[in-house]
Amino acid sequence: MFKEYNPINKLMFQVIDNQGKVIDNKLMPKITDERVLKAYKDMLFARTADLQIVSYQRQGRIYTYPPNYGQEAISGATAVIIEEKDWLVPAFREMGAMLAKGVTLKELFLLFMGYEDGNEYKNANKVLPISVPIASQMLHATGIGYEIKYNKKKELVYAFVGDGGTSEGDFHEAVNFAGVWKVPVVFIIQNNQYGISTPTRMQTASESLAIKSIAYGVKGIQVDGNDFFAMLRALEEAKKVCENGEGPVLIEAVTYRKGAHTTSDDPTKYRTKEEEEEWDKKDPLKRLKQYIINKKLWSEEEEEKIIEDFKKEVDRQFIEAENYPEYKAEDIFKYMYSEMPQELKDQEHRLKEFYRWKEERVSQTIKK
């Protein structure tokens, strides 16, 4: 597949069309109907959560949040393929993949409500926290890949970055190191057409992002990222490459960020309604839904019902997060080093003395 879809040939890999019809059965990944249905539900859950979060945010109940809206098939396919033993190195729009690894929605809520505790991932292993400094996480993926190869383990790393992220030096260094070291990392570029307000054509003059793989001597492919099956199939093939010790793979997943960059962004400033409508036709959930409805695996009624259930579940976890215990003063010091140095103990002590003083002072003032 990587030969035929060598990015130099300028082909985008697709399996289903905008109506959810399979273009060529040979291209279909190996997956049961049952698993497809589960994947669809998971993607729908992610979308439901996403939309709900945006409304929480409008109510001032959560801070800045970067939605996944419109990009769910990429995480959705990753969720199918990623295993317990594998590593997930997210950027910040991979909710579906994170949930699949065992991160809870509540934990994500905690993070975006302003608790580091949300990054602890109590029930999930081998997931890095979301990474804010663009593209920097890619190098971690390469390093983890080195450990896997070094210890001859049968693991894989799935690492994410945005189209904007491909402009950073760290993108270059990460894929380049991975190419030299031939490590089992699947790099997935979520090309959602924008880095905040900046369109991809202003990030690079390159013909595609997938074609950048050539600069590193690694396999690359451009995939319709709104096509769940295409994503899954590409990931399957990438997995084989990694398992064969042929090194990393660079996947450009072409998609569209249907929502705002974050809840504090206004996309109407930099894109048109026409463009949004054009992309709406390629919506990944619509396409997959059409597929499962055609196959009689799903119905509008089921969908309506399940969305209601999902909403309740999202709400439940949200309220749990809202009732999270207060952030304690010692927690800002406690995790800085493996053992707290005297200097930090002194600083913590000073803070607590201040709090004692303040309490006294404020109660005095109130008495007055």
Ligand X SMILES: Cc1ncc(C[n+]2csc(CCOP(=O)(O)OP(=O)(O)O)c2C)c(N)n1
150 vs 327, beta carbon nearer a second copy:
150
Token look-up 């070094």 returns: 150
**How many whole angstroms separate alpha carbon 179 and alpha carbon 218?**
6
Q: Which does 93 bind (CB under 5 to 8 A by kind): other proteins, ligand X, Mg ion, none?
A: ligand X
Pairing of strands 194-195, 198-199: antiparallel
Number of chain positions touching ligand X (CB under 6 A): 15
Pairing of strands 157-162, 87-89: parallel
DSSP secondary structure code for residue 96 in this structure:
H
CB of 262 to ligand X, least distance (A): 8
DSSP secondary structure code for residue 16 in this structure:
B
> Where does 169-237 show beta strands of DSSP type E?
185-191, 194-195, 198-199, 219-224
Q: Looking at 67, 129, 195, 259, which residue binds ligand X (CB under 6 A)?
A: 195
Q: Which does 216 bind (CB under 5 to 8 A by kind): Mg ion, a second copy, other proteins, none?
A: a second copy
DSSP secondary structure code for residue 213 in this structure:
G
Sign of the Cα torsion 102, 104, 108, 114 reads negative
**How many whole angstroms separate alpha carbon 23 and alpha carbon 16?**
5
CB of 139 to ligand X, least distance (A): 13
DSSP secondary structure code for residue 161 in this structure:
E
Q: If binding is defined by CB under 6 A, does position 164 make contact with ligand X?
A: yes
Choose the catalytic residue: 47, 93, 233, 261: 261
Token look-up 């890949």 returns: 145
Q: Which does 160 bind (CB under 5 to 8 A by kind): ligand X, other proteins, Mg ion, none?
A: none
Nearest CA to 93 out of 140, 143, 50 is that of: 50
Q: Is 327 a catalytic residue?
A: no
| Residues between 44 and 83 with contacts to other proteins, criterion CB under 8 A | 63-64
CB of 10 to Mg ion, least distance (A): 21
Q: If binding is defined by CB under 8 A, does position 335 make contact with other proteins?
A: yes
CB of 107 to other proteins, least distance (A): 11
Here the tokens at position 347 are 């600083």
Q: Is 257 a catalytic residue?
A: yes
Q: If binding is defined by CB under 8 A, does position 170 make contact with a second copy?
A: yes
Q: If binding is defined by CB under 6 A, does position 255 make contact with ligand X?
A: no
CB of 260 to other proteins, least distance (A): 12
**How many whole angstroms separate alpha carbon 218 and alpha carbon 211?**
10
Q: What are phi and psi of 198, to 5 degrees?
A: -95, 120
Q: Looking at 120, 236, 276, 302, which residue binds other proteins (CB under 8 A)?
A: 120
Choose the binding region for other proteins from 3-11, 163-171, 273-281, 310-318 (rule: CB under 8 A): 163-171
User: Percentage helix, strand, coil, to 5, in the chain?
Assistant: 50, 10, 40
Q: Is 172 a catalytic residue?
A: no
Q: If binding is defined by CB under 8 A, does position 215 make contact with a second copy?
A: yes
Bridge partners for 220 per DSSP? 250
Q: If binding is defined by CB under 8 A, does position 336 make contact with other proteins?
A: yes
CB of 187 to a second copy, least distance (A): 14
Q: Which does 192 bind (CB under 5 to 8 A by kind): Mg ion, other proteins, a second copy, none?
A: Mg ion
**How many whole angstroms separate alpha carbon 254 and alpha carbon 209?**
9
Q: Which residues bind ligand X (CB under 6 A)?
A: 93, 132-134, 162-165, 190, 192, 194-196, 257, 261
Using CB under 8 A as the criterion, which residues of the chain lie in contact with a second copy when the complex forms? 8, 167-173, 176, 179-180, 182, 202-207, 211-212, 214-218, 247
Catalytic residues: 257, 261, 270
